Amino acid sequence: MEKMPKWADVVLIPLISLILAAILSALVILAIGENPVEAVNLMVTGALGSTYGWGYTLYYATNFMFTGLAVAVAFHARLFNIGGEGQAMLGGLGVAMVCLYVPWPHWSIALLGACAASMLFGAAWAAIPAYLQAKRGSHIVITTIMFNFIAAAFLNYMLVNVMRPQGSQDPATARFPEAVHLPTFQSMFSTAENVVFRGAPANISFFVALLACVVVWALIWRTRLGYEIRAYGHSETGAVYAGISPVRITIIAMLISGALAGLMAINNVMGEAERLVLNSTEGAGFIGIAVALMGRSHPFGVFLAAILFGFLYQGGAELALWTSIPRELIVVIQALVILFTGALDNMVRMPLEKLFLGLRKGAE
């Protein structure tokens, strides 16, 4: 018998965790001498009050959807892929290579090429930790952390010593050619008399991210492979008994996870920066952990959590602009969300389970 109704597990617990994180964040804002109500007002108007704000919110949300899905897929196989950051960096390298060195006739074909390249590079970066976990039993968390640092050093090398244009001081690649510039929301939704999303970086990759959510949902809940991944995540011994190979599932789940993290690069590298710069990922790989935890590893949950974090990011930037609250407030909120929805999950769950058991006994 379930201790709790399903809706409580899916909706109530994340909600309570979120409220706890919000209360603590408000206390932090109070403690540094600012007004939390005013701060929230500023964040809402800054992130959601205009199409410009929405353009940034959705741009960030696109990044977080990709990295959130990446962490979520690995979670289903009970693997903790902390290396989304490095995989997204490598995805960026893949995007930069195909955009710079292949003469694309049109952005639409280039987007397909860039998707393939970013997924390939991201998956390749996840492949080694996956192999080591599956075959040698090296802990995936440690190896993926190490691979984040190796990726950062590798990218630094590529940008400074290899891909930097002649005569440039900046550790970045040349700008991508005009033909591979992706359509932004401004060019897609503006009419002659009404310009919307002016100057905002949201672009067509947002719809790729939505598609990725649907595809991941179908993969996890509607295919044999998805069933095997979930079965393995649920119980390794059970899965082995059912003839599911742990090595195969570990490697496949990590490859999918790495590919999704790498895919983020079509948004931040191809869509926004239109060249590869150092630290292009800006920690989005780590935010994916918070997004996946809050979204309960379900693509729809990931979608909602990504929008929430997009809002926090854009709102936080506005706060830093208009008040003396630095952007790092968002990092604190992110930490609190990870803490309450991830590590302290039982703190919320245990009393709730008792409550529901009590209610049920009362009803009988």
- Chain residues that interact with another protein, rule: CB under 8 A: 28, 31-33, 80, 82, 128, 132, 136-139, 141-143, 145-147, 149-150, 153-154, 156-157, 160-161, 286, 289, 293, 324-326, 328-336, 338-339, 342-347, 350
User: Closest distance between another protein and the C-beta of residue 262, in Å?
Assistant: 19
User: Closest distance between another protein and the C-beta of residue 24, in Å?
Assistant: 10
User: Closest distance between another protein and the C-beta of residue 145, in Å?
Assistant: 6
User: Closest distance between another protein and the C-beta of residue 132, in Å?
Assistant: 5
User: Closest distance between another protein and the C-beta of residue 343, in Å?
Assistant: 3
**Is the Cα torsion angle 61, 63, 69, 74 positive or negative in sign?**
negative
Rounded CA separation 362/364 (Å): 6
- What string of DSSP letters covers 50-76? SHHHHHHHHHHHHHHHHHHHHHHHHHH
Nearer of residues 275 and 349 to another protein, judged by Cβ: 349
User: Closest distance between another protein and the C-beta of residue 30, in Å?
Assistant: 11
Nearer of residues 18 and 335 to another protein, judged by Cβ: 335
Nearer of residues 282 and 345 to another protein, judged by Cβ: 345
Asked if 320 contacts 327 with a C-beta cutoff of 8 angstroms, the reply is yes
Cross-strand pairs, 203: 184
> Where are the alpha helices (H) located in the chain, listed in sequence order?
6-7, 13-31, 36-48, 51-76, 84-101, 107-131, 140-157, 185-189, 205-222, 224-234, 236-241, 246-263, 265, 284-294, 299-322, 328-338, 345-363
Nearer of residues 81 and 268 to another protein, judged by Cβ: 81
Nearer of residues 157 and 221 to another protein, judged by Cβ: 157
CA distances from 136 to 47, 84, 129, 330 (A): 46, 21, 10, 38
State both tokens at 58: 């959705």
Nearer of residues 237 and 346 to another protein, judged by Cβ: 346
